[in-house]
Amino acid sequence: MSGEPLFAAMFDCSRNAVMKLETVKTFAHILKSFGYNALLLYTEDTYEIEGEPYFGYMRGRYTKEELKELDHYCSDLGIELIPCIQTLAHLNQLFRWPTYNDIHESKDILLPEEEKTYALIEKMFQTCRECFHSKRIHIGMDEADVGRGKYLDKHGYHPRKEIIAKHLQKVLAIADKYDYKPMMWSDMFFGNVFISELSPKQKEMVPPNVDMVYWDYYSQDENHYLKQIRNHQKVPNKMIFAGGLWSWLGFAPANQYALNRLKIASKACLKEGIHDIIMTLWKDNGGECSFFATLPSLFAAKRFFEGEYDVSKIREEFNELTKEKWQDFFLLDKLNSFNFHHYLEPSNVAKWSTYEDPLFHMFYDHVDLSEEKEWKILARKLKNAAKRSSNYSYIYLEGAALANFLSVKYGLAKKLYDAYQRREKENLKALLPAFDKANKFLKSFYEAFRNLWYKENKTSGFEIQDARLGGLSYRLMDIKRIIQDYIDGKIDRIDELEDKKPLDINGKEKVDPEEDCGFYTYATNMSVNAY
């Protein structure tokens, strides 16, 4: 922990995908070459704790020896490896085990003011102190709707900020015992997307001995960032800014969207003298996207926060340093770009169009059939990018395989619905071969995706992808049978297709084609039934 400003990247290793040690080591080298000085390893329950056999059980957790190995490796490179743990919320995987019922507040939240809770948290700190040299630790404490579950039953109603402040004091006492200087997400006190002005009483609740990490991945208004930063500066805590590299929408990144936001955020930080920075890479909802797909964002972020905004210059530096092609990475963006020609909003078209059930037509209004041909074009471009790449051809080939699959699957639900509504059995019959073709391309995508996963991550977690993609394959086969039965007169209707098309999924009569349709989780995409 030197006196120089922190410039770090945080890697999520908790949402199914737990990076292999070699992958972490590779990123340590990349960060060093990009000018970063720290790597934050985000682990919810994916690390070993003695005496807690269900903590990270069968989740690909890091052993103590693995963490020690990574710590030494990073240290030798001049990269500070900082543990990131959760001491309040985001522990949903832990609570699947009944052994933790006594300390389960609600949802994914630990029960504050419970002796067993702090005993577990102390074990977390003890493990980290055994494995990491850094005196810094990130203790989480974000997005916790605490006080509404078991805490309410035991203690009655208390304002959320008061509960968190009291819990935080106890966590900080444990951190101090293990000689840690903690940082935490600031949103429970300050908000992030919506500006929250602290009252004098609330300011007093914020302990001075913890750094506040203001995370904001969305705003394109510099004044928004300035207001939030200045609000943080009204307390004596050091403020750290955290931006997002948008690795969490699905199978593909959103580099351009990240750059647009980070450029604005960096200008605000530089104006206010904020030089401690973290770039976050999350793996929400399964861990589908390779972190390597965000390399341009990772590189540009450092240059933006140094005050360099000439993207053409940044691009040349990136190409020279990495021996990769900056623009090729932006082809990966197009897999998740709602409109192939614009990057105004992040979207998840590759995810929802992969998993959308062809009988449910949930995303009917978000499909532009005139763009179907773009998927084949994109597949060819990604295959060419694979030939040009020195290190990441497997990522481009996975993207190409996905684009090929979507060249058939994208729009299938819309075509099926329209043909059925018009009772055009011949057109329905003409759609039948698409299901076999889609399954053929799906198999190719599965193999490419599997190759990417096992190259970068531990094996644990891919069973989720097996279940999702395997289920999709069988569902496509079943829908083909249902359509055939209807054509042959074995059934006189297809119930799902009898339902009239509702409003847009966002409840709007008019659809904005560049709007993020918002459904980026597998469960909300694949069915309207309970999952």
What phi and psi, each to the nearest 5 degrees, are found at residue 104?
A: -100, 110
Picking from 184, 67, 75, the residue whose alpha carbon sits closest to that of residue 126 is 67
7-322: CATH homologous superfamily?
Glycosidases (3.20.20.80)
Range of weakest confidence among 305-314, 339-348, 405-414, 438-447: 339-348
Please check the confidence at residue 5 and state whether its pLDDT lies above 70.
yes
What phi and psi, each to the nearest 5 degrees, are found at residue 457?
A: -125, 165
Q: What is the pLDDT of residues 209-265, one digit of tens each?
A: 999 999 999 999 999 999 999 999 999 999 999 999 999 999 999 999 999 999 999
**Residue-level pLDDT at 269:** 98
Grade residue 202 by pLDDT with cuts at 50, 70 and 90.
confident
- CATH code: domain 330-526 is 1.20.120.670
Picking from 212, 249, 244, 218, the residue whose alpha carbon sits closest to that of residue 231 is 212
Give the residue-averaged pLDDT of 342-354.
Answer: 78
Range of weakest confidence among 191-200, 270-279, 511-520: 511-520
Exposure string for 5-27, b = 16+ CB within 10 A, e = fewer: ebbbbbbbbbbbbbbbeebbbbb
Instruction: Check residue 44 and report its DSSP letter.
Output: S
Look-up of token digits 């996963």 = 453
Give the residue-averaged pLDDT of 355-372.
Answer: 90
Give yes or no for a contact between 466 and 392, defined as CB atoms under 8 angstroms apart. no
Give the residue-averaged pLDDT of 285-296.
Answer: 97
Summary mean pLDDT of the chain:
93
**Residue-level pLDDT at 339:** 63
**Residue-level pLDDT at 520:** 73
Give the residue-averaged pLDDT of 30-38.
Answer: 98
SS3 for 10? strand
Give the residue-averaged pLDDT of 319-337.
Answer: 95
Give the residue-averaged pLDDT of 412-426.
Answer: 97
Q: Do domains 7-322 and 330-526 have the same CATH topology?
A: no
CA 493 to chain centre: 40
**Residue-level pLDDT at 336:** 87
Please check the confidence at residue 47 and state whether its pLDDT lies above 70.
yes
pTM of the predicted structure, to 2 decimals: 0.96
Please check the confidence at residue 343 and state whether its pLDDT lies above 90.
no
Q: Is 489 left (phi over 0), alpha (psi -120 to 50) or beta?
A: left
- Spatial separation of the C-alpha atoms in residues 207 and 181, rounded to whole Å: 12
Return the C-alpha torsion angle 84, 88, 93, 97, nearest 10.
130
Strand-pairing partners, residue 38, are 8, 80
Please check the confidence at residue 294 and state whether its pLDDT lies above 80.
yes
Please check the confidence at residue 169 and state whether its pLDDT lies above 60.
yes
SS3 for 498? helix
Grade residue 320 by pLDDT with cuts at 50, 70 and 90.
very high
Count of alpha carbons within 13 angstroms of residue 128, beta-carbon side: 34
Give the residue-averaged pLDDT of 101-123.
Answer: 97
Give the residue-averaged pLDDT of 77-92.
Answer: 97
**Residue-level pLDDT at 503:** 65
**Residue-level pLDDT at 474:** 98
Q: Which residues contact 490 (CB under 8 A, 6 or more apart)?
A: none
Give yes or no for a contact between 255 and 333, defined as CB atoms under 8 angstroms apart. yes
Q: What is the pLDDT of residues 446-490, one digit of tens each?
A: 999 999 999 999 999 999 999 999 999 999 999 999 999 999 999
**Residue-level pLDDT at 362:** 85
- Spatial separation of the C-alpha atoms in residues 168 and 206, rounded to whole Å: 9
Grade residue 123 by pLDDT with cuts at 50, 70 and 90.
very high
- What percent of the chain has pLDDT above 90? 84
CB atoms within 10 A of CB 477: 12
Domain boundaries, the chain: 7-322, 330-526
Picking from 244, 246, 235, the residue whose alpha carbon sits closest to that of residue 210 is 235
**Residue-level pLDDT at 396:** 98
Please check the confidence at residue 192 and state whether its pLDDT lies above 90.
no
**Residue-level pLDDT at 345:** 63
Q: Counting every residue, how long is the chain? A: 531
* Helical segments of 222-325, H only: 222-232, 255-271, 295-304, 311-322
Give yes or no for a contact between 282 and 254, defined as CB atoms under 8 angstroms apart. no
Please check the confidence at residue 338 and state whether its pLDDT lies above 80.
no
- Spatial separation of the C-alpha atoms in residues 323 and 325, rounded to whole Å: 7
